[in-house]
Structures are given as C-alpha cells and as structure tokens.
A and B are shown apart, each in its own frame.
Chain A
Amino acid sequence: MNEPYFLSLLIFSPLLGILALSLIPKEQEKTIKMIGVLATLPSLLLALFAFVKHLNGYDLSQLTERREWIHFGKFSFLNETNFTIGYELHIDGLALVMILLTTLLATFAALASTSITKEWKGYFMLFLLLEIGMLGVFAASNLVLFFIFFEITLIPMFFLIGKWGYFEKEKAAYSYLVYNGLGSAILLIVIAVLLARTGTSNVAEIHRIFTDPVAQMQMVSPISEQLRYGLFIALLIAFGVKLPIVPLHRWMLRVHVQAPPAVVMLHSGVLLKIGAFGLIRFALGLFPGQFQQLSTLIVILGVVNLLYGAFLAFVQNDFKMVLAYSSVSHMGIVLIGLGSLNEAGVQGAIFQAVSHGFISAFLFFLVGVLYERVQTTSLDRLGGLAKVMPLTAGFFLAGAMASLGLPGTSGFISEFMAFLGLFKVNPVIAAVGTLGIIMTAVYLLRAVLNMTYGPAKQNDRVSDLRGMEFIPAISLFALIVLIGIYPNVLAAPLQTTIETIMNGLGG
C-alpha cells in the first residue's frame, strides 16, 4: 500500500481548522474553542493509525513523499539532481513516535486552552499553525524543508507567549525570539554549507555522500575534517538552544513561567524535543565520527545540565520555576544517553524525550488547573491542597513521582536506560550523575509536598478537577504508566532507528 499524500495530510490537516476559524466571528467563544479542539483530531487519528499499523509490521518507507520543488540553475553536467530542493517527507520509527507525541499533546493542550480568556480566534489559529510547524519538523527529510517548518514554530510561539502570557510576557517573548532566532541562524549556516558542498539538501542523500567513499569523491567540493567539526559544533549550539543545554537555557525559564500553561504544555512537551530530535537526526546522524570524538564532552554537558538544573530547582519559590529547572535537569538525561553512544543510552535518550514530553505536559496541565482556581503558583502561598483539591493534589503527586523516575512510570525507564548506557562507557561520570537521581527526588518532593501537604492555606470553596479536565489528566497519566509498565510499546518502533544509528557509528 502506497500512500503518497498521507504525511502531507497529517501535517497540514490543522489548516482545515485555521480556515474554519477564519470564517467564524471572533465573539463566538464556544464554537471557536470547539473547532480549535476538533481541528487537532484528524492528525491525531492519522498518527495513531500509522502507529498501530507500524506496530503490526507496516513498513513506514511506503509513506515517503517526494516532489520537485525548487531548482537552482542547471548542473546536469555534474548530476541530474544537484542543487534541487525537493518537498520531501519521510518518517521512521523515531519520527513517528515524535509525531504521535505532538498530536497527542496538541489535542490535550487544545483542551487545556479552554481556560484562555481573550481573543480565542487568534489564539487557536496560531495554535494550529504551531502544530503544523511541529509536525513538519519531524516529517521533513529535506534540510531546507526542515528549516522552514522549524521557523514556522517560531512565529506563532512568539505571539502566543507575547499576547496571552502573564505579566512579563513581552520580555519572555523577545527573549524566546532572540535566543531561538540566533539558533536558527546558526542552523541555516550549517544547512547552507551542506547544500553548497554536497549539492543536495536531502538528509538521506547527504548521509550517503558522507559515508560512501565513492560518493565522497563526487562531492561538489569536499568537506575537510575541521569543517566537519565546525558544522557539528554549530549544530550542537543550534539545537542546544532548543534543548536547552546550560548555559543557553535562560530564555526557556521565562517561557515556562510567562507563557499560558496550555502553550507551555506544547513548548516543554514538544518544542524542547525538537532539540533532542535535531541532535539525534543531524548531529549524530550526519556526523557520527565527530559525535564519537566529542562524546565525553556531551556526557559532561549532560551531567552539568542534570545537576545544575536539579540544584537550582531546589531553591525556587515558584512552582513553575521548579518545573522549568526540572526540564533543564531532565534534558541532561537526553544528553547523557546520547553521549553514551550505545543502544541503551540512545534508546534511553529517545525515551526521555517522549517521557518528559508527557510528564511535563501533565504537570503543566495541572498548573493551569491550579492557577485558574487560586491565581498563584507561589510555593509560599500554597499549602494543604490535598485537603481542598484532593484529586488535583493526587495528580500532582503522581506527576512528581513520574518526573523523579519512580518505577512503573515512563520516567524510570528512560532514566534507567540512559544510566545503563553511561555506566558502560564511563562509570565515574555516571556515578557523579546519579547524584541527580537523589536531587530530583529532593526538589520535587519539597515543591509538591509544600503545595499539597501540610495545613491548608486555601479556602474550602476551591473546586477540584471537573468535567472535561479529566480527559487530559487521566489520558496523560495513563500514557505515562503505560510506557512505564509496558515499555516495548515504545521500544518496538524505535529498534530500526537505533540500529541505523549504531550502524552509522560502525558498531
């Protein structure tokens, strides 16, 4: 079965929603919110469909799309396809998993967006545009196309933060734009160099040229070893901003705190993962040799992220700041896993990306619920929530447990595999890193118990979780537990990707 339009349909189906929204008067709050949620469903269903089929053995390469798009002059004397840029989509197990994560979180975030209080029309149009960008990033198999989708995520996000955020929203939005804009610029330079030197921007093609000695001779102009290092480090910085790697993280703290919680669900849940995805796909996929040479550095950066974020999360007085630093800390695990460069480590890194996506979306969903009711996330002003909002408090505790890597949740599986991988290659650094496992428990319990345990500081009339709010809460937690007790549901589709990466390493 060949499905030449499947991926395009999946990526661009939120456009339907944007079109529908543009026809609706902006006062009709209910209709707009409903369309906003419904518009995320087609891509979710398509992604689920593909995922289930793939689990049953469907070959994803049949979904590949390839169309001619942009030509630069005529270089047929070298090679027919040189300097053409194709509209090329292709997914493997990793991309499929990331797409499923995106579509799931988009639906849940859309549900959580019902608490947005103004200009719903603009909000949901930007929201859906953001989803298109994110989906495209994971499906693009052409660097230029990748970059376009990458930029598409930037713009809606800027407005979503700047317009619907909290008190310092403008500062946060500019901070977001400047950091990520610089990251994009660096990425663009890398892409331009690769296109100029290899004559193609197709990822698989570049990969073939880099690995095949014959093809290497036919390159438009050869790439020296030093330039490879340069490109690799540029990629590390470009995606390091997104991930983020300390010290490139300051912007994301502001976004975590200032953006509306529904947007943070996507930001923390998916956008940070583009950093991880980019590192795996391009830094590791195209420059395995350089990655290998610098793997110790990457592991050290990971441990720094892990510990630095954890220690900082310990002294924050705003729960959103705790979660922001917690994201920094958890992304350290991705770096640790990748830097280990073995099956366990890389799989752990991917698991961590997915797991943290669900867990942090779950926690930020709850933050949104909480803020709507008590108008604060300050740890000093919260206490005894288990008394007045027992269900919300219970979910908070469950989220904290998942985040600190309690077995039975996805957080454990990813942390475990990443450390399993690291202990094989570098037990000493790994032992230092395990301090992070303790610190995670310390700061999460401090924060969550401060909010939920102890004498009640809120009045009794605060309502608990209700109605539609149960859907995201229960679904997200169920997914976290599902991966925790049956990890092969996620591991199975990733095996080919991991095999490819390992082959690239010559292992």
Chain B
Amino acid sequence: MMENAWLIPLFPLISFLLLLVVGKQLKERSAYVGMLLTFASFVGSLFVLNERLTMPTYKAEYVWLTIGTMKLTAGFEVSALNALMLLIVSLVSFLVHMYSKGYMHGDERFPVFYAYLGLFTFAMLGLVLSPNLLQTYIFWELVGLGSFLLIGFYFYKEEAKAAAKKAFIMTRIGDVGLLIGMILLFWQVGSFEYDEIFTAVANGDVSSSLLTLSAILIFVGAIGKSGQFPLHTWLPDAMEGPTPVSALIHAATMVAAGVYLVAALFPLYEASETAMMTVAIVGGFTAIFAASIGLVQKDIKRILAYSTVSQLGYMMLALGSAGYVAGVFHLMTHAFFKALLFLAAGSVIHAVHTQNIEEMGGLWRKMQLTAPLFLIGTLAISGFPLFSGFFSKDEILIAAWNHGHVGLFILAVIAAFFTAFYMFRLFFLVFTGEARLDAHHVHESPSVMTIPMMVLGVLAIGSGYVQTPWFGAFLGEWLTEGTHWHAHEEGPSWIMIVATMVSLLGIFVAWLMYGKKALARDWLSSRFPLLYNVLFNKYYVDEFYGSTVVYATKAVSILCQYIDRFLVEGMANLIAATASGIGRLGARLQNGQVQMYGTVTIIGLALLVVIFAVTGGYL
C-alpha cells in the first residue's frame, strides 16, 4: 500500500475538481461526494500507517524540472511522521466533511464549500507526503490558498475579505523566509531532498553560520503558518471563516504544518544550537503571550484561536528543547481535542447564533451532547489527569526542563495555568449559570454533527495512551526508530505533580469566578484597568503594524507615484522639449543666408577633424 500512498491526496483533489464542475447540479448532495472521497483517503491512510508500523520508510521520486544540468525531482515519502500526519489529516478532514453537512445546511454556496474543503485536504495531504523542501513549499502555499478561500467564504462580508487578505499576506511574509532559507540551503547542499540535506549536515558540508541562518529562515515560514509571535495576528482574524473550517485548518492541520516542518527538518535544527534556541524561545514566548490574551477575550472562537496559538507555541517549545516526540505527540493530541472544541463551539453557535460568550449561558441542559463533549475537550486541553493533553503537555514540560530551559519551563507552567483558567472560564460562561438568551428555540445539533464530535471526544481522551510513562512509549519508539532521539523524556516526577496542580488551580480559580461567583468577575479589569486593556486589545500588535509597516508601505508607494508622475514623466518631457528646441534652432539656421551656411559648414568640418584626430579614425 505504501507504494500507492500518492493516491491518498488524489481523492480529495478529485472531489475538488468534480464539485467545481458538477457541484451546481448536485447541490447539497455534494457533501456525499466529499465525504466518500475523503473517507477513501482515510482508509488509505490507515493501511499506509499499518504497513509503516512494521516496514521501513518508503520513498519514490521522478524528475520534475530540468534546469540545465540540474534535475529537480518530485515524489512522495512515507516516513513515520508522514504516516502519522496522513492519518490525522485525513481523519479530521473526513469528520469535518461530515459535520459540515449539518452546519452548512441551507447555504447558497454549499457545493463550493465542499470543493474548497477538497482542495485544502488535497494540499495538506500532499504536504505531509513531500520528500523534499521544494515540494513542501509548493503544497505549503497551496494549503495557504485553501485557507484563504475558506476564510473568505462569506466573501460579501467586509470582515471576511479583510481576514482572508490578511491571512494570505501574513503567511506569505513567513513563506518568503522559508523560500530564502531553502534556496540558501540548496546552494550549499546541491539538493532540496531531505535525505541529502541531512547527510550534508551530518558530514559537516554546510558551514555552521549558513546552516543556522537557513534553519532560522525556514523557521520564519513556520512562524507564519503556525501563527507564532510576531506573525500570529492573522489566525484570530481567520475565525471569520465558517466554524468547521476553523476546526480543520486553523486548529488541527494547517496551522500545525509549521510544527510539522520543524519536526521534518529536525536533524537540521539539531545541528544548530542557536536555531534550536530560537525555536524554543519563540514557542515558549508565544505560548504565554497568546494564553494571556485568551484570558479576557469575549468571542468563543477567538478564545479558541488564541488557545491554538498558545498550544502551537508549546509544540515549538518542545521541538526547540530537543523534545521531538513531545512536539509531535502534542501535535496529535491537540489536533483531536482542538478540533473537538471547535466543532462543539460550532454546534453552540449553530444553536444560539452568537459568538459572544457573555450572551450565552446555561446551555448544559439544552445541549446534552455538545456540553459534555465540550467539557472533554476542555479537560484535555487543560491537562487534566488521564486526558490526552495531560500526557503530551507533561512530555513537553519535561523536555523543557531536561534541556535546561528553566525560564521557559516556568513560562510554560504559567501558560498551563492560564490555559486551564480561560478554558474553564469559557466553559462556565457558556454552559452553566442562567440562560442569558431567549433560549426556548435552542436545540441540540443533528446527529451528523454530533457523531464526528463523539469520535473526536473518544480520541481526546484516548489518544494520550499511545505515549504514557506507565504503559510505555509506543509512539515515541516508533517515531524515533533508527535515530538517536529520545523515545520518551525521563524527568523528575515532581513535574507531573506540578503540572497537575497548576491545571487544577486554573480550573478552581475559574470555578470561583464564574461557577460559584465567589470572586468578582471584574477582578482584573477593576483592579488593573491598564493591564486589562492591554490584554483585551491583544497587546496592540495590530495597531502597531497598522501604524508602522502598513503606513510605511503606503508612504513608499505614494512617493513612487510622485516620482513616476513628475520625475520620470518630467524627464521624458524634457527630452522631448530638447528635441523640439534643437529643431527650432535648426530651423533658424536655415535662414537662406549664404554666410550662415558657410559658418556652419566650417564649424562642422573643424569638429570632424578634431574628432578624427583624437580617436585616430576609429571609435
């Protein structure tokens, strides 16, 4: 099956093309086309994963582009990491396809939505099969296209238009970093192939400064895609897209591509201490930075978006601390529980038609499936013991501690507290207390939406058990087979206790404030209004960009406009004026007087003689 793995991305591509052509006729039956074809991808991924468990990596390549004596190739590679990603992507995509059938019901552009989902899934599956950097870059941009189209799905809304544009441009800034990094690496190694890059790095063929530079530049691409500081601002805005899209693209798969890229290039990063340090610091900082913003937001999807940014920061921190397994493990568990949270949030929005959590409340009794499923997701992300997030976050904390990043370790612990707090703040406000809405028409979502949530609910609990300190590090051993990386981080046992305490503390404080209401809700805003405003306005990063980068771009453009209109055009006019001036002078010379003609003749002859004398007859 592994030699046929290239078929897996093709199914959703067929779905995309088919729906583009006949979607209009199929109307809402398009959902079945999309579901069927992504299910085929999922089944294929299962077979591939199963085969890869026992067999070595499979790789196939063909010449794609000839440049003189250079031959660039394209192909596919089924490594352990790739096989795992295939399964995560195809599964979440299939579940989202199913869920959307209920969520998007009645939308005028229903088939277009499914077509775009197919395009995105194709690109994402293609990305995780790429055997070289160039192909990765190609699919990397194509997932960006899918994301752009789906964020702007409600194209008639100004906000959606702005968000789509912002997402595309912000990620492209990162992509340029990736492009430069990979080209620099290419001229050092002579190839885009991962294998050859790693061999060259291992042999020391790449100078250490260039290695660090290209690793960091490639990481800039990951920063853009994974919404890391300072290119994170597009991700919360991307919530303008339909909620299933947020679950698939902006939580589970595409935004994790940055983490995947660093993991796929791990031998490169490992070779440069500076690059590793950069990854760890950016990740650790983003984790706490985004979590602190999440504390005070009011839009259910934006809170989840900031939590995604923060969790992706955790993964980066893990990779930067040499915790390869920890990073990939958290990528997997996060994909499940965050997709669950988004789908459950979508179910809530579907029922109450608002995203403001202050307008919600008391939904526990109204939505008896969504509410417990949301709770599962919340417990998992908070690192509550025995849920999947508990195990993966633990691995990350241990990796950070073991690698000697004490400062980052403390930041990560605080971020864990924040996470537990804001997630339970969200939970209590939405599901407990009194209904703040006219709630008699609030109803549970149809089963086509709840079934995918249940599947994710099971995974949000269970997926942590592939890598636990008690039952063995199955995932880690498989991922690190044939490498010297740790299959499991051995760390002091107090870390697990601290992590648990912190998580419980966060839940407890949230309960005091929003459940029991023993603590005033405006505790922060009344006591520290300045701090509250800074957090509520997301540290004013958008405003900062608006008044610097955007402003400067406009200023330069307008300056160029003036140069073009006056300087360049003026020069052309000057030349034209000179020409006509000479013409007029010439006309005046031809005044019919022989004396004048004679003078001109003699002067001209003299000039010619001088020129010939100087140049010797040759130019």
A230 to B152, CA, bound (A): 54
Q: Are A312 and B560 in contact (CB under 8 A)?
A: yes
Q: Are A407 and B141 in contact (CB under 8 A)?
A: yes
Q: Are A488 and B64 in contact (CB under 8 A)?
A: yes
Q: Are B158 and A347 in contact (CB under 8 A)?
A: no
State whether A343 and B69 are in contact (beta carbons under 8 Å apart), knowing that A408-B142, A454-B156, A488-B63 are contacts in the complex: yes
Q: Are A434 and B141 in contact (CB under 8 A)?
A: no
B131-166: CB near A (< 8 Å → 1, else 0) gives 000100111011001000000100110101100110
State whether A441 and B180 are in contact (beta carbons under 8 Å apart), knowing that A312-B564, A315-B554, A491-B66 are contacts in the complex: no
- A491 cross-chain contacts in B, Cβ below 8 A: 65-67
Q: Does A28 count as interface, using CB distance less than 8 angstroms?
A: no
Q: Does A465 count as interface, using CB distance less than 8 angstroms?
A: no
The number of residues on chain B lying at the interface, defined by a beta carbon within 8 Å of a beta carbon of chain A, is 50
A456 to B158, CA, bound (A): 11
Q: Are B141 and A453 in contact (CB under 8 A)?
A: no
Among B68, B165, B556, contact of A445 (Cβ-Cβ < 8 Å)? B165
State whether A495 and B164 are in contact (beta carbons under 8 Å apart), knowing that A250-B572, A408-B138, A438-B169 are contacts in the complex: no
Q: Does B553 count as interface, using CB distance less than 8 angstroms?
A: yes
Question: Which single residue of chain B is at the shortest CB-CB distance from A417?
Answer: B67
Q: Are B68 and A343 in contact (CB under 8 A)?
A: yes
Among A222, A386, A423, contact of B155 (Cβ-Cβ < 8 Å)? A386
Question: Which single residue of chain A is at the shortest CB-CB distance from B72?
Answer: A487
A195-208: CB near B (< 8 Å → 1, else 0) gives 00000000000000
Chain A interface: which of B183-191, B362-370, B485-493, B507-515? B183-191
Q: Does B332 count as interface, using CB distance less than 8 angstroms?
A: no
Min CB distance A429 to B, Å, is: 12
Can you spell out 6 A-B residue pairs with CB atoms less than 8 angstroms apart? A247-B568, A311-B557, A311-B560, A347-B68, A427-B184, A446-B165
Q: Does B386 count as interface, using CB distance less than 8 angstroms?
A: no
Min CB distance A349 to B, Å, is: 12
State whether A453 and B569 are in contact (beta carbons under 8 Å apart), knowing that A312-B560, A441-B168, A491-B66 are contacts in the complex: no
Q: Are A449 and B161 in contact (CB under 8 A)?
A: yes
Task: Select the residue from A222, A308, A344, A417 with max chain B CB neighbours within 10 A.
Answer: A344
Q: Does B218 count as interface, using CB distance less than 8 angstroms?
A: no
Q: Are A456 and B156 in contact (CB under 8 A)?
A: yes
Q: Does A138 count as interface, using CB distance less than 8 angstroms?
A: no
- Residues in B544-570 with C-beta less than 8 Å from chain A: 553-554, 556-558, 560-561, 564, 567-569
- Majority SS at the chain B contact face: helix
A416-457: CB near B (< 8 Å → 1, else 0) gives 110110011001001100100111011001100100111110
Min CB distance A26 to B, Å, is: 37
Q: Does B471 count as interface, using CB distance less than 8 angstroms?
A: no
A364-401: CB near B (< 8 Å → 1, else 0) gives 00000000000000000000101100000000000001
B368-396: CB near A (< 8 Å → 1, else 0) gives 00000000000000000000000000000
A420 to B186, CA, bound (A): 9
Min CB distance A7 to B, Å, is: 26
- Residues in B599-619 with C-beta less than 8 Å from chain A: 618-619
- A387 cross-chain contacts in B, Cβ below 8 A: 155-156
- A79 cross-chain contacts in B, Cβ below 8 A: none
Q: Are A445 and B168 in contact (CB under 8 A)?
A: yes
Q: Does A412 count as interface, using CB distance less than 8 angstroms?
A: yes
Q: Are A424 and B187 in contact (CB under 8 A)?
A: yes
Q: Give 7 nearest A-B pairs by CB, closest first.
A: A343-B68, A407-B138, A453-B161, A315-B557, A453-B155, A247-B568, A311-B557
A312 to B134, CA, bound (A): 31
- Residues in B571-609 with C-beta less than 8 Å from chain A: 571-572, 576
- A453 cross-chain contacts in B, Cβ below 8 A: 152, 155-156, 160-161, 164
Task: Select the residue from B139, B169, B172, B568 with max chain A CB neighbours within 10 A.
Answer: B172
Q: Does A499 count as interface, using CB distance less than 8 angstroms?
A: yes
- A178 cross-chain contacts in B, Cβ below 8 A: 576
Interface positions of B (Cβ within 8 A of A): 63-70, 134, 137-139, 141-142, 145, 152, 155-156, 158, 160-161, 164-165, 168-169, 172-173, 176, 179-180, 183-184, 186-187, 553-554, 556-558, 560-561, 564, 567-569, 571-572, 576, 618-619
Q: Are B155 and A495 in contact (CB under 8 A)?
A: no
Q: Does A46 count as interface, using CB distance less than 8 angstroms?
A: no
- Residues in A181-225 with C-beta less than 8 Å from chain B: 221-222, 224
- B164 cross-chain contacts in A, Cβ below 8 A: 449, 453
How many A residues are at the interface, by size bracket? 35 or more
Task: Select the residue from A226, A311, A312, A442 with max chain B CB neighbours within 10 A.
Answer: A311
Question: Which single residue of chain B is at the shortest CB-CB distance from A346?
Answer: B68
- B180 cross-chain contacts in A, Cβ below 8 A: 423, 430-431, 434
State whether A454 and B183 are in contact (beta carbons under 8 Å apart), knowing that A442-B169, A445-B165, A449-B161 are contacts in the complex: no
Q: Are B168 and A434 in contact (CB under 8 A)?
A: no
- A401 cross-chain contacts in B, Cβ below 8 A: 145
Q: Are B66 and A492 in contact (CB under 8 A)?
A: yes
A217 to B63, CA, bound (A): 46
Q: Does A109 count as interface, using CB distance less than 8 angstroms?
A: no
Question: Which single residue of chain A is at the shortest CB-CB distance from B166?
Answer: A445
Q: Are A437 and B156 in contact (CB under 8 A)?
A: no
- B156 cross-chain contacts in A, Cβ below 8 A: 384, 386-387, 453-456
Min CB distance A502 to B, Å, is: 7
A247 to B556, CA, bound (A): 17
Question: Which single residue of chain B is at the shortest CB-CB distance from A423?
Answer: B183
Q: Are A499 and B68 in contact (CB under 8 A)?
A: yes
Min CB distance B377 to A, Å, is: 33
Min CB distance B571 to A, Å, is: 7
A299-313: CB near B (< 8 Å → 1, else 0) gives 000000000100110
Q: Are B67 and A407 in contact (CB under 8 A)?
A: no
Q: Are B67 and A344 in contact (CB under 8 A)?
A: yes
Q: Are A247 and B571 in contact (CB under 8 A)?
A: yes
A446 to B168, CA, bound (A): 11
Q: Are A412 and B138 in contact (CB under 8 A)?
A: yes
Min CB distance B72 to A, Å, is: 9
Min CB distance B131 to A, Å, is: 16
- Residues in A448-489 with C-beta less than 8 Å from chain B: 449, 452-456, 487-488
A384 to B619, CA, bound (A): 62
- A499 cross-chain contacts in B, Cβ below 8 A: 68
A420 to B184, CA, bound (A): 9
Q: Are A454 and B68 in contact (CB under 8 A)?
A: no
Q: Are A438 and B557 in contact (CB under 8 A)?
A: no
A213-257: CB near B (< 8 Å → 1, else 0) gives 000000001101011001000000000000000110110000000
Q: Does A413 count as interface, using CB distance less than 8 angstroms?
A: yes
Q: Does A291 count as interface, using CB distance less than 8 angstroms?
A: no
A159 to B155, CA, bound (A): 42
Min CB distance A267 to B, Å, is: 19
A245-277: CB near B (< 8 Å → 1, else 0) gives 011011000000000000000000000000000
Min CB distance A481 to B, Å, is: 12
- B176 cross-chain contacts in A, Cβ below 8 A: 434, 437-438
Beyond contacts A452-B155, A454-B155: 17 other A-B pairs, Cβ-Cβ < 8 A, are A178-B576, A308-B564, A311-B560, A343-B67, A420-B183, A423-B180, A434-B176, A434-B179, A439-B553, A445-B169, A449-B165, A453-B160, A487-B65, A488-B63, A491-B66, A499-B68, A502-B68
Task: Select the residue from B161, B173, B554 with max chain A CB neighbours within 10 A.
Answer: B161
Q: Are B619 and A419 in contact (CB under 8 A)?
A: no
Question: Which single residue of chain A is at the shortest CB-CB distance from B160?
Answer: A453
A408 to B126, CA, bound (A): 12
A221 to B173, CA, bound (A): 55
Question: Which single residue of chain B is at the shortest CB-CB distance from A251?
Answer: B572
Task: Select the residue from A246, A387, A445 with max chain B CB neighbours within 10 A.
Answer: A445
Question: Which single residue of chain A is at the shortest CB-CB distance from B66?
Answer: A491
Question: Which single residue of chain B is at the shortest CB-CB distance from A450?
Answer: B161
Question: Which single residue of chain A is at the shortest CB-CB distance from B568?
Answer: A247
Q: Does A406 count as interface, using CB distance less than 8 angstroms?
A: yes
Question: Which single residue of chain B is at the shortest CB-CB distance from A314?
Answer: B557
A474 to B275, CA, bound (A): 46
Q: Are A454 and B165 in contact (CB under 8 A)?
A: no
Q: Does A498 count as interface, using CB distance less than 8 angstroms?
A: yes
A93 to B567, CA, bound (A): 41
